[in-house]
């Protein structure tokens, strides 16, 4: 769908010749001399890289309509992950490479919002925090309670995080999906 640069809004996705880009920030500029223009900061939907791009005012650009589908992760099948659409109950096999780092936070039964453009997954929205079980960590040594001391813990998804010394193997912890940091024991 073609729109003009006068209609741009933050969060909108554009289909440019260089690829799919989401508008992070934009500013209409009307200099004293010459024509008006729109200065934008764009984020590549596939790689996450940001670029600066300037458009003439009124220039036509192609808007990409991103479909947000809430899906539930069911189980791994071969090299793919099987997801089920929560509305239509259709199952979809998805390559872990198209989900990026989101696979470190997915366990069977967890929900995620997949951002789809045509038949391609261009992003994943996860909850702000997820609960995961610690599968491997060293026991905390008695008397080794230095303020803020941390140790490594491997979670059920294979993700390794730094946790406080009092957290043990088999404990359930809450992990921030934006930073990958330990939040609290559940």
pLDDT, tens digit (0-9, with 9 covering 90-100), for 72-94:
999 999 999 999 999 999 999 99
Of 94, 85, 90, 91, whose CA–CA distance to 122 is shortest? 94
100 and 76 belong to one structural domain:
yes
71 and 121 belong to one structural domain:
yes
Q: Mean pLDDT across the stretch 136-158?
A: 80
Of 76, 64, 67, 72, whose CA–CA distance to 90 is shortest? 72
* pLDDT mean across residues, the chain: 90
Conformation bin of residue 34: beta by default, left when phi > 0, alpha when psi is -120 to 50:
left
What is the domain range of residue 77?
67-125
- What's the Cα-to-Cα distance from 31 to each of 25, 60, 66, 103, rounded to whole Å? 19, 21, 34, 47
8 and 48 belong to one structural domain:
yes
147 and 167 belong to one structural domain:
yes
Last residue of a domain, one of 110, 125, 140: 125
Count the neighbouring beta carbons within 10 Å of the beta carbon of residue 92.
17
Last residue of a domain, one of 25, 42, 62: 62
Number of domains in the chain: 3
**67 near 123, Cβ under 8 Å?**
no
**24 near 14, Cβ under 8 Å?**
no
40 and 15 belong to one structural domain:
yes
Q: Mean pLDDT across the stretch 135-159?
A: 81
> What is the pLDDT, as a whole number, of residue 147?
62
**182 near 161, Cβ under 8 Å?**
yes
- pLDDT band for position 150 (50/70/90)? confident
Residue in the structure block whose two tokens are 């951002």: 115
Buried b (16+ CB within 10 A) or exposed e, 149-171: eebebebebebebebbbebeeee
Q: What is the CATH number of the domain that holds 90?
A: 2.40.50.140
Sequence-ordered list of residues with C-beta below 8 angstroms from that of 34, at least 6 positions apart, any chain: none
71 and 113 belong to one structural domain:
yes
pLDDT at position 68 over 70: yes
- pLDDT band for position 55 (50/70/90)? very high
Q: How many CA atoms lie within 13 A of 83 on its CB side?
A: 23
Last residue of a domain, one of 101, 125, 149: 125
pLDDT, tens digit (0-9, with 9 covering 90-100), for 83-138:
999 999 999 999 998 888 889 999 999 999 999 998 888 888 999 999 999 999 98
- pLDDT band for position 143 (50/70/90)? low
110 and 79 belong to one structural domain:
yes
């Amino acid at each position: 769908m073609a729109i003009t640069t006068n209609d741009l809004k933050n969060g909108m996705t554009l289909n440019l010749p260089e690829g799919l880009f989401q508008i992070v920030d934009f500013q209409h500029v009307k200099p004293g001399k010459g024509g008006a223009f729109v200065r934008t900061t764009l984020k590549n939907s596939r790689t996450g890289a940001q670029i600066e791009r300037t458009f003439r005012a009124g220039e036509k650009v192609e808007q990409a309509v991103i479909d947000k589908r809430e899906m539930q992760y069911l189980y791994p099948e071969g090299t793919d992950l099987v997801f089920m659409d929560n509305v239509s109950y259709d199952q979809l096999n998805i390559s872990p490479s198209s989900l990026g780092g989101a696979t470190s936070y997915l366990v069977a039964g967890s929900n995620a919002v997949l951002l789809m453009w045509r038949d391609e997954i261009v992003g994943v929205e996860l909850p702000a925090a997820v609960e995961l079980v610690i599968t491997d960590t060293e026991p905390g040594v008695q008397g080794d309670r230095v303020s803020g001391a941390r140790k490594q813990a491997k979670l059920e998804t294979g993700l390794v995080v730094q946790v406080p010394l009092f957290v043990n193997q088999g404990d359930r912890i809450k992990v921030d999906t934006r930073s990958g940091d330990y939040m609290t024991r559940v």
